[in-house]
Amino acid sequence: MNHKPVVLFVCVHNAGRSQMAAAMLQNLSARAIDVRSAGSTPADAVNPAAIQAMKEVRIDITAEVPQIMGPQAVKAADLVITMGCGDSCPVFEGTRYEDWALDDAAG
């Protein structure tokens, strides 16, 4: 049985950067990768500017809802890509991490 890789994108509010990155990878991988996103302090809704930007590249994220990043989600991931969540992102030995220095468009 083949293992489907799991990638978790994490930013503070899970309302912009991580949602957009997850949608892009999901689209580009043709669902060959299990893509997830979460936030250390999730917002109530995805940023309308992120929704609009994704519509411009024909990817619909209107149904997405910001999720809290829990330790189980991090442990389940083969790769965790953080985007500005700093020390609030848990680190588990054996999990691969990358930090993308992307400014929060919401400020």
| The pairing of beta strand 6-11 with beta strand 96-99 | unpaired
79-89 burial, b if ≥16 CB within 10 A, otherwise e?
Answer: ebbbbbbeeeb
Catalytic position from the list 15, 61, 81, 89: 89
Region 13-99: CATH code: 3.40.50.2300
Q: What is the torsional sign of CA 95, 98, 99, 100?
A: negative
Structure tokens at 52: 């609009």
pLDDT at 105: 61
Active-site residue, 89 included: yes
User: Rounded to an integer, what distance in angstroms lies between the CA atom of residue 60 and that of residue 62?
Assistant: 6
Catalytic position from the list 7, 73, 77, 85: 85
pLDDT at 86: 61
pLDDT at 63: 96
Per-residue pLDDT tens listing for the chain (107 residues):
578 999 999 988 999 999 999 999 999 998 899 999 999 889 999 999 999 999 999 999 999 999 998 888 888 899 999 887 665 666 667 778 777 876 666 55
Q: For residues 26 and 33, is the Cβ–Cβ distance under 8 A? A: yes
pLDDT at 1: 52
* In the chain, where the domains are located: 13-99
Catalytic position from the list 7, 8, 10, 11: 11
Active-site residue, 96 included: no
- The closest of 71, 57, 98, 103 to 84, measured between CA atoms, is 103
